[in-house]
Amino acid sequence: MSATAHDAAPPIAIRAEGLRKRYQLGEHRSLQQTVASLLRRRATTVTFEALAGVDLTCHRGEAIGLVGINGSGKSTLLQILAGMIVPTGGEMRVWGRVLPLLAVGQGFHPELTGRENVTLFASSLGFPPKTVAERMDAVMEFAELESHIDTPTKRFSSGMISRLSFAVGIIFPADIYVFDEVLAVVDGEFQARCLEEIKGLHAAGRTVIFVSHNRNQVAEVCERVFWLEAGVVREHGPTADVLDQYEREHGRASAERPRARRRFRGPRPSRSSPR
């Protein structure tokens, strides 16, 4: 029996299949070290798998949460989604414009003013100068930084930078919004405003990817959750079910616990090796 238009699944917004990302430890080398390693018949390398085969599907208009202890692969997955890095293997497919807020002030230059940084960030996402100029007042108003917008951001507090980053993410239109712990350094009142805006994006049919160590925020925003551990999807499903499983194993202080064991290839790094 064929599916009708009423019960057909929404179009896919994001699909990751067998996604892998491998790093070589100690990648930063001098020219002399690089040439020497190329001349060796058998170079010794140690690699680290940040992602070890991630499968994930998100439909248009869904709000998806990502949870996992520090180092589980969440940020690497989001960087690939945002087009900032390329995977070592597998495939990431995205339908629509992505607006990533992956870290406080990421993409902002400390020597530029708030206004200049907003213009630069929005332009890098493909927004024309006319659109940036038309929305600048709305950015300043939401961030409550009208009196500081022409000050270099090196003089901003982390909270001010986070406000400006979030305002840019909310005011400029996109199909997929990615939030990675962007509310961690702002006050409670502004957090509440931001959560309402994120829920408003979801209600308007936008796709939301939300990362936080705050269970209440994840539960408030997300309808499904993917739990990442050691570079793979440990579990996924309805928000409450996955969060309950996650907390039973890791507890509420999961962000402070040691990283899960990860797969290294090659000789184990010594204590002096970069991590």
Domains of the chain listed by start with CATH number: 12-96+175-250 (3.40.50.300)
* CA–CA separation, 165 and 149 (whole Å): 12
* CA–CA separation, 10 and 7 (whole Å): 9
- Asked whether the whole model's pTM tops 0.85, one would answer no
pLDDT of residue 3: 38
Split at pLDDT 50, 70, 90, the class of 88 is very high
- Give the residue among 274, 250, 275 at the shortest CA–CA distance from 69: 250
pLDDT of residue 26: 63
pLDDT tens-digit readout, 34-57: 566 666 655 556 778 899 999 999
Residue type for position 150:
D
pLDDT tens-digit readout, 187-196: 778 888 889 9
